[in-house]
């Protein structure tokens, strides 16, 4: 019966496999390959009929829970991921340790408006930030305009001392390319606020709103960076009430108590790695992954239990199908993503001598929705081949293809290395609520969507690994730098210290 189910599912997904779209002209073709089509059909059947990924998500969510990098829960998740890869039957299963500068633990956060009204607030601490004095502190709220941080810092002249700083966004926003650098400008502001003896800062990640519904969002404010001042996220409902009172000329006084704890020194973490070795070109590597770590307000099911379990499920679907790829599929569960892509940066550093042998990285980390686009990480040269492949997946719904670059997840370091960092974009409208919040829980993920995304990840990674011709080779640094400048990523990358290219890609370089 299972064989009949798998065959039926395969035909529904791929149709009668001898039929193919004619190959495209150009350097990268999608030449007819009936043997590859047969393998993909078998993988599709396994992926769509296996309930294990949803059970994996339940274990990760309920038995381990929130997995802040460096915590005991994160360590348990690394052990769990290693055991799952071995049970699936992956080869060369191991961990690859790396070090974070400091560990951090959330303890408590509370606040209340004491004047001109009395109102208890709902808030959460941001990650890797400091504490108020024991017992808390009390002070008036003053606003700081995110769009004018340089002017605000230049003119604080003692007015921040003993105050709670509320980050707002007023006036004309900067152009989109400059808006990307707002996050990087927030760090110097926090240091200035601490030096000016402000009590605390309210304002999420750079003053972003929490999307309403009386929830807060946590997160970090720099790449492996700590801040001594407490920074908190309020619910939209609470923050907007405070802003209305201030706009009416009221003096709003707040009592706030935030307690967090830093480790005394560096902490260890690790990526979890397992492989399906290639049969013809095992030295050529396709990375497939998601991040294993999460925040701690909830279970981390949508961010990124989805990516973790689709990675494991994709590996299992391929192994159970019996299909063997030409190239090696390397499945990686990254940690440290939430602290600034630390695990994927560590991976690219550890494997820097292998970069020329890597073909691509396929990552899922955009919530609980179905995959609906392939972002090719700046590699416009791959669009024709990817579009041809996306047509094969039309039974899963439309999947569009573009060369967008994504530095909000673990694709970023691979793009910096000149590789296609392929982000599996998802249609996740509820992610704005679950992202880094108390409602990032198992029930927000639907088993049919998880099965669908698992299958798309398995098919996409296997297609790259088993093509007759290699999909891509890494670009040289000069070409990568020019692409990132054209994509307006350079300002943001330089501001956060991730630009590795010096002056490459500048106008003089282009004329050479």
pLDDT digits (tens, 9 = 90+) for 59-82: 999 999 999 999 999 999 999 999
At 180 the pLDDT is 67
Q: What is the mean predicted confidence (pLDDT) over 487-501?
A: 92
Residue 117, token pair as written in the block: 């009204």
Angle between helices 34-49 and 2-14 (to 10 degrees): 120
The two domains 63-102+266-466 and 104-262 share their CATH topology (first three levels equal): no
Which H or E run contains 281?
Answer: strand 281-291
Phi, psi of 49 (to 5 degrees): -115, 5
Examine residue 116 and say whether the peptide bond preceding it is cis (omega within 30 degrees of 0). yes
At 508 the pLDDT is 52
3.30.70.20, 3.40.50.10190, 1.10.3720.10, 3.50.30.30: CATH of 104-262: 3.50.30.30
**pTM for this entry:** 0.92
Residue 65, token pair as written in the block: 């829970």
Q: What is the mean predicted confidence (pLDDT) over 250-273?
A: 98
Which H or E run contains 47?
Answer: helix 34-49
What mean pLDDT value characterizes the chain? 91
Domain boundaries, the chain: 63-102+266-466, 104-262
At 208 the pLDDT is 56
Name 104's bridge partners.
262
Domain 63-102+266-466, classified CATH 3.40.630.10, yes or no: yes
In this predicted structure, the answer to whether residue 38 has a pLDDT above a threshold of 80 is: yes
Exposure of 234 in the CB half-sphere (CA atoms within 13 A) = 26
| 408-451 pLDDT, tens digit each | 999 999 999 999 999 999 999 999 999 999 999 999 999 999 99
Residue 275, token pair as written in the block: 């492989």
Written in H, E and C, the secondary structure of 35-100 is: HHHHHHHHHHHHHHHCCHHHHHHHHHHHHHCCCCCCCHHHHHHHHHHHHHHHHHCCEEEEEEEEEE
358-363 and 281-291 strand pairing: parallel
In this predicted structure, the answer to whether residue 278 has a pLDDT above a threshold of 50 is: yes
């Amino acid at each position: 019966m299972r064989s009949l189910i798998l065959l039926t599912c395969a035909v529904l997904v791929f149709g009668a496999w001898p039929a193919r779209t004619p190959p495209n002209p150009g350097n990268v073709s999608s030449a007819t390959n009936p043997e590859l089509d047969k393998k993909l059909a078998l993988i599709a059947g396994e992926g769509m009929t296996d309930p294990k990924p949803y059970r994996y998500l339940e274990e990760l969510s309920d038995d381990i829970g929130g997995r802040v990098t460096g915590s005991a829960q994160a360590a348990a998740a690394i052990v769990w991921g290693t055991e799952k890869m071995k049970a699936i039957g992956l080869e060369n299963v191991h961990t690859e340790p790396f070090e974070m500068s400091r560990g951090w633990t959330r303890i408590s956060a509370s606040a209340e408006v004491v004047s001109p009204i009395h109102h208890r607030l709902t808030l959460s601490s941001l990650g890797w930030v400091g504490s108020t004095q024991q017992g808390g502190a009390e002070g008036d709220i003053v606003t700081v305009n995110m769009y004018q941080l340089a002017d605000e810092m230049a003119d604080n002249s003692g007015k921040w001392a003993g105050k709670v700083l509320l980050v707002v966004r007023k006036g004309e926003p900067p152009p989109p390319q400059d808006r990307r650098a707002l996050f990087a400008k927030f760090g110097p502001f926090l240091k200035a606020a601490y030096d000016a003896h402000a009590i605390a800062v309210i304002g999420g990640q750079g003053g972003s709103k929490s999307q309403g519904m009386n929830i807060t969002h946590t997160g970090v404010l720099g790449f492996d960076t700590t801040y001594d001042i407490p920074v908190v996220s309020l619910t939209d409902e609470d923050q907007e009430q405070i802003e209305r009172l201030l706009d009416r000329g009221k003096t709003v006084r707040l009592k706030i108590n935030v307690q967090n704890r830093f480790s005394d020194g560096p902490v260890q973490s690790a990526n979890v790695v397992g492989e399906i070795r290639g049969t013809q070109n095992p030295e050529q590597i396709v990375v497939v992954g998601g991040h294993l770590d999460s925040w701690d307000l909830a279970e981390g099911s949508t961010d990124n239990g989805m990516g973790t379990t689709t990675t494991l499920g994709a590996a299992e679907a391929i192994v159970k199908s019996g299909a063997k790829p030409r190239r090696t599929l390397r499945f990686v569960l990254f940690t440290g993503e939430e602290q600034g892509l630390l695990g994927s940066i560590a991976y690219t550093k550890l494997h820097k001598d292998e970069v020329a042998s890597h073909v691509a990285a396929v990552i899922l980390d955009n919530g609980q929705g179905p995959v609906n686009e392939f972002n090719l990480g700046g590699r416009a040269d791959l669009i024709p081949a990817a579009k041809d492949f996306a047509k094969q997946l039309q039974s899963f719904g439309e999947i569009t293809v573009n060369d967008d670059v994504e530095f909000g997840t673990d694709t970023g370091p691979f793009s910096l290395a000149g590789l296609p960092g392929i982000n599996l974009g998802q249609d996740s409208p509820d992610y704005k609520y679950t992202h880094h919040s108390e409602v990032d829980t198992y029930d927000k993920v639907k088993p049919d969507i998880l099965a669908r995304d698992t299958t798309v990840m398995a098919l996409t990674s296997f297609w790259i690994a088993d093509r007759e011709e290699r999909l891509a080779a890494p670009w040289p640094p000069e070409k990568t730098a020019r692409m990132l400048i054209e994509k307006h990523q350079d300002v943001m990358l330089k501001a956060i210290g991730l630009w590795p290219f010096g002056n490459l890609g500048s106008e003089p370089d282009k004329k050479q």
